[in-house]
Amino acid sequence: MADSKSKLAADAMSLEDIAAGITRCRGCALWERAPQAVGGEGSPRSRVMLVGAQPGDQEDHARRPFVGPAGRVLDEALEKAGVDRSKVYGTNAVKHFSWEPRGKRRMHKTPSQQEIAACLDWLAAEIRLIGPALIVALGATAVRALLGPGVRVLVNRGKALPSEWGARVLVTVHPSSILRVPPQDREQAFDALVRDLAAIRRLT
């Protein structure tokens, strides 16, 4: 199964091929509880790729990345940073929603290393097809997928690190982290994210 998935990803000739492939992917068990695989979205000619962690509840239902509360924070931060959201490609390191029940709600569960590894072929295919000049890693899961488990977000945030992907990787926090800080600290945390994202214009 893993070899078949790797071949499908390696043979993908378009973003549509990837979208079809992840729908059929059985590389890990996430598809059993979140059957709506969520691919990337944006222009195949984008010079900038945003990589988040995984779809959330709203992304799972919509089958689109970055449409939930964290996505709205990201849109606002990109606008304030002077980055045209329509000109970047957005995707996630993990293509299915990893969740655990809490009452009637489906709450985010951090993807495991196995789940990140299972999706890496699809992320690699997206990078290959788009050929971005800069990849923005939003949070720890994306950083782990792109740069390995030894790279820490808070130590490296705001830095553009070399990578094996043919593009530098700009490290920052996931926009969902802004929603988790105390209200009195939220503006400061948001402004820090904007400063990180403002580097996109300088680096591309």
Cα angle value 202/148/70 (rounded, 5°): 60
Contacts of 38 (CB under 8 A, 6+ apart): 22, 55, 59, 60, 63, 64, 65, 92, 95, 96, 97
Q: What is the residue-averaged pLDDT of the chain? A: 93
Structure tokens at 195: 């400063």
For residue range 39-81, what is the model confidence (pLDDT) as tens digits?
A: 999 989 999 999 999 999 999 989 999 999 999 999 999 999 9
**Contact (Cβ atoms closer than 8 angstroms) between residue 121 and residue 5:** yes
Structure tokens at 187: 């503006």
Angle between helices 186-203 and 69-80 (to 10 degrees): 60
Looking at residue 77, its pLDDT comes to 98
pLDDT average, residue stretch 142-166: 97
Domains of the chain: 2-203 (3.40.470.10)
Cα–Cα distance measured from residue 175 to residue 90, given in angstroms and rounded to the nearest whole number: 13
The pLDDT-based confidence of 7 (bands split at 50, 70, 90) is confident
pLDDT top residue among 202 and 104: 202
In 31-185, alpha helices (H): 57-62, 69-80, 113-130, 140-147, 153-156, 176-180
- The residues facing 171 across adjacent strands are 137
CA distances from 171 to 12, 79, 128, 193 (A): 27, 18, 20, 10
The pLDDT-based confidence of 101 (bands split at 50, 70, 90) is confident
pLDDT higher than threshold 80 for residue 110: yes
Looking at residue 1, its pLDDT comes to 47
For residue range 11-34, what is the model confidence (pLDDT) as tens digits?
A: 899 999 999 999 989 889 888 887
pLDDT average, residue stretch 82-87: 94
Question: How many C-beta neighbours within 10 Å does residue 13 have?
Answer: 9
Residue of 171, 134, 177 whose CA lies nearest to 156: 171
102 burial level (CB within 10 Å; 0-12, 13-18, 19+): exposed
